[in-house]
Homo-oligomer: A and B are copies of this chain.
């Protein structure tokens, strides 16, 4: 089952996972606040993620990642943490490193990420 995921969806899934680690439950409004988007935008995005089976939403409005959604979210979050850590350890300002990681995490291929991670570990950068 090919799951074509675009950058926008990846970003929402990553944010839901991240929020679920620091909030008891995650709602649309939490996602909107975190990303600084309007709740109407998030509402539509959540509808799309529901239709693609990447999340489920309870009657109370609590958002949960499905296995598929969680797999994507965890992949992106791992990339985010790894890439920002590498950049910070190379001397890049933390805020800039985080912003760059936020963009690179969506465009790097599995193969390249794997190669970079391996090299960074060898060089004790991560």
Contact = CB atoms under 8 A, between A and B. Distances in A.
A74 to B, nearest CB: 21
A114 to B, nearest CB: 9
Contacts of A87: 112, 115-116
Interface in A62-116: 87, 90-93, 96-97, 99-100, 103-104, 107-109, 111-112, 115-116
Nearest to A117: B90
Question: Chain A interface residue count: which class?
Answer: 20 to 34
Contacts of A44: none
Given A90-B116, A90-B119, A116-B90, A103 B107 contact: yes
Contacts of A100: 107-109, 112
Nearest to A119: B90
